[in-house]
Amino acid sequence: MAPGESTSALEESTLAVGESTLALGESRDAEFDDGTALLRRGTALPGAQVLSSAAELLSPGAVLLSPGAVLLSPGAQVLSPGVVLLSPGVVETCTKRPETLRARCRDERILLVTSIVQSARDARPDEWWRSAVVYQVYPRSFADANGDGIGDIKGILGHLDYLSMLGVDVVWLSPVYTSPQDDNGYDISDYQDIDPLFGTLDDIDKLIEELHDRGIKLVMDLVVNHTSDEHAWFEESRDPESPKSDWYWWRPAREGHEPGTPGAEPVNWGSAFPGPAWQYDAARGEYFLHIFSRKQPDLNWENPEVRTAIFDMMNWWLERGVDGFRMDVINLISKPEVEDGPETPGTGLCYDLSRLADGPRMHDFLGEMYESVLKGKNLIAVGEMPGTTLEKAASYTDPTTGELSMVFQFEHVDLDHRAGNRFDVTDWPWVEYKKNVLRWQDGIGMGWNSLYLENHDQPRSVSRMGDDSPQFRQASAKTLGTVLHMLRGTPYIYQGEELGMTNYPFEAEGDFRDIETLNYLHHAMQLGAPAEAVLPGLAKGTRDNARTPMQWDGGVNAGFSETGPWLAVNPNASEINAVDQIKDPESVFHHYRRLVQLRHDEEVVRLGEFALLLPDDEQLFVYTRTLGDEQILVLANVSSRPARLPLGLPDHGACEVLLATHEIDDVDVLAPWESRVVRLS
């Protein structure tokens, strides 16, 4: 293609000779006139970007991601037009004019892709989740049908019409398996049975059936980094002679230390629920690893028998009709060398969880899971990955080499944690958050992002990122939904988020139930901190903020249960509840229903390229999504003060407004927490 030649030619899905010629869908070796093998494995996926990430253009690991891509070296990733990642970690903005780029490419024998044949990769049938919206149910707190104050499966069955009305495509169900509930079910003692607290296997079969009847899929929570210490596998493993003796991480006491005494732990790893991550077991005479609570011993995935047992269990659930898995802390299953880590100042332990994340055998283990369980079954597989990186996430979710549909990354939900401490919360840093969004929207490449602000481990977003005062609660809840749901990726709605539920006014130790929160309080008090000094931080950062009962109506126990619930209902249920909001077309509920509809109706929302505008503006969160010649503009004021739109934004005054939180009095001014989605073309 001669310099300056329009890209339209390429829309006929060919690439000019000399820069490698591939017809869409074709894959073959490409030769340069000097005979070097240029392209060993290349596939132009229908509707996808030109070459799959499996294409090794110049050398292994080179990935071609989008138009104007220039590949400069092994492992180089091109993030977006003109932006070049020279090699992992090194980014250089390439604003050179095409012909200069071309010359450079020719000299450096680099393939220059000048446009995307078909802009966005349309969802292949086995990638339905690229167009889906997921709703997370935390069973303990959703709805109680048998009056014991704890939510259950029959309670969920009683509210499926509500989920159909919201329009969601998938339900992610947090654990309902047999469990002593030390960590509310994330400590499983039998993977193939339902805890009587929540119901029976018949109840779950009914839930699968009734959801499917409504065209809604069910994703189960897969908690296999650890089991409960009451799981038969662990009880057996405590016997060093048993065939399962190596199913967990057992180590002798530290050299020269009396087993069971402080400091005798094998190495200085700290647990996420603080304190040492190693517990002495007198019966076995050794320590076992538990990254989370003492009742959550880590499984030894190095042992192939462990992997087989887990894959068999996963296939058992798939045969029962579930449509995929959300995989709990799945990037912790491959452990690093068991050796001391750098001490976290003032603690005597190493609390850096990221050191235990994304170990050397992650792709081995996930690859085996993919081959033995996931492959070719049209499933959704979401990996929860605390401490993972953009590069790692891109590798796990790459459609041709990765094993997962998407991951839950944690970078954004740690942004307001002072020194990584979730109980020492700052104001929400919007400018940093926008930059984080840009990095992941651009950097995930061929992979795919999950989109979330809330889940059962995070405080309520309207209180944390928005403004939960009576004046602005509704508007900020809606606008947080707008800025999240208009991004590229799969959005997750956590129960109550669609109502704008807020944090709870926790005041005393007795108000909390969460093991992480109570452990942190007791640990801080052991270190001499007065409870009243710790409580305010706990109230802000506790996971219990997400776990207060669902507010169905303004009545007794907010319609969650007839008897006193396991965790107190938020006193603002009389103002914030589903029944009232369903009746009010201006409610947060109906705003979320429209957000879900917009994603279902608009391909540009599902697949359009993301571009951030005004990155450094403290008040405004503005971006576009572009798909071919379609473009939408998202305008949001993320502050409690009016914001004037600066000059230089795409002209949108006369454009079709697809969604708005406020009557538009002045197109150039956004009211506090006002947001609009506008169709530019």
Interface residues with ligand TEU (CB under 6 A) are 183, 186, 223, 272, 292, 328-329, 384, 386, 422, 456-457, 516, 543
What are the two backbone dihedrals, phi and then psi, of residue 518, each rounded to the nearest 5 degrees? -70, -40
DSSP H/E element including 535: helix 531-541
DSSP H/E element including 319: helix 304-319
Concerning whether 562 is annotated as a catalytic residue, the answer is no
Question: Of the listed 144, 169, 358, 384, which one is catalytic?
Answer: 384
Question: Of the listed 328, 358, 454, 617, which one is catalytic?
Answer: 328
Nearest to ligand TEU of 412, 591 (CB atom): 412
Please give the residues from 447 up to 476 whose contact with Ca ion meets the rule CB under 5 A.
none
| Cα gap 335→347, rounded to integer Å | 22
Nearest approach in angstroms of CB 424 to ligand TEU is 12
**Residue 383, Cβ neighbours under 10 Å: how many?**
27
Where does residue 246 rank: exposed (0-12), middle (13-18), buried (19+ CB within 10 A)? middle
Among 56, 152, 328, 498, contact with Ca ion (rule: CB under 5 A):
152
Among 10, 44, 76, 144, contact with Ca ion (rule: CB under 5 A):
144
**516 contact choice in Ca ion, ligand TEU, none (CB below 5 to 8 Å, kind-dependent):** ligand TEU
Please give the residues from 387 up to 416 whose contact with Ca ion meets the rule CB under 5 A.
none
Contact between 147 and 564 under an 8 Å Cβ cutoff? The reply is: no
**330 contact choice in ligand TEU, Ca ion, none (CB below 5 to 8 Å, kind-dependent):** none
Among 11, 122, 148, 190, contact with Ca ion (rule: CB under 5 A):
148
Nearest approach in angstroms of CB 336 to ligand TEU is 17
DSSP H/E element including 197: none
Nearest to ligand TEU of 19, 384 (CB atom): 384
Identify any residues that bridge with 494 across adjacent strands, giving them in sequence order: 136
Nearest to ligand TEU of 169, 384 (CB atom): 384
Vertex 567, ends 531 and 210: CA angle to 5°? 145
DSSP H/E element including 135: strand 134-137
What are the two backbone dihedrals, phi and then psi, of residue 581, each rounded to the nearest 5 degrees? -75, -30
Nearest to Ca ion of 144, 442 (CB atom): 144
Candidates 84-92, 140-148, 312-320, 593-601: pick the segment binding Ca ion (CB under 5 A). Answer: 140-148
| Cα distances (angstroms) measured from residue 646 to each of 93, 303, 625 | 25, 59, 19
**223 contact choice in Ca ion, ligand TEU, none (CB below 5 to 8 Å, kind-dependent):** ligand TEU
DSSP 532: H
Contact between 466 and 479 under an 8 Å Cβ cutoff? The reply is: yes
**539 contact choice in Ca ion, ligand TEU, none (CB below 5 to 8 Å, kind-dependent):** none
Strands (E), 6-120: 30-31, 37-39, 69-70, 77-80, 83-87, 90-93, 112-113
With binding defined as CB under 5 A, does residue 424 bind Ca ion? no
**609 contact choice in Ca ion, ligand TEU, none (CB below 5 to 8 Å, kind-dependent):** none
Nearest approach in angstroms of CB 332 to ligand TEU is 8
Q: What tokens does 381 get?
A: 């597989």
Among 146, 200, 563, 597, contact with Ca ion (rule: CB under 5 A):
146
| Cα gap 647→617, rounded to integer Å | 13
**148 contact choice in ligand TEU, Ca ion, none (CB below 5 to 8 Å, kind-dependent):** Ca ion
| Cα gap 133→259, rounded to integer Å | 50
Nearest approach in angstroms of CB 308 to ligand TEU is 22
Q: What tokens does 316 get?
A: 């058992």
**Residue 576, Cβ neighbours under 10 Å: how many?**
24
Nearest approach in angstroms of CB 150 to Ca ion is 4
Candidates 139-147, 371-379, 463-471, 612-620: pick the segment binding Ca ion (CB under 5 A). Answer: 139-147
Nearest approach in angstroms of CB 113 to ligand TEU is 38
Among 15, 30, 143, 150, contact with Ca ion (rule: CB under 5 A):
150
Identify any residues that bridge with 643 across adjacent strands, giving them in sequence order: 670
Query: By 3-state DSSP, what share of the chain in percent is helix, strand and coil, each rounded to 5?
Result: 30, 15, 55
Concerning whether 328 is annotated as a catalytic residue, the answer is yes
Nearest approach in angstroms of CB 155 to Ca ion is 6
Q: Give the footprint of Ca ion on this chain (CB under 5 A).
A: 144, 146, 148, 150, 152
Where in the sequence numbering do the catalytic residues fall?
A: 328, 384
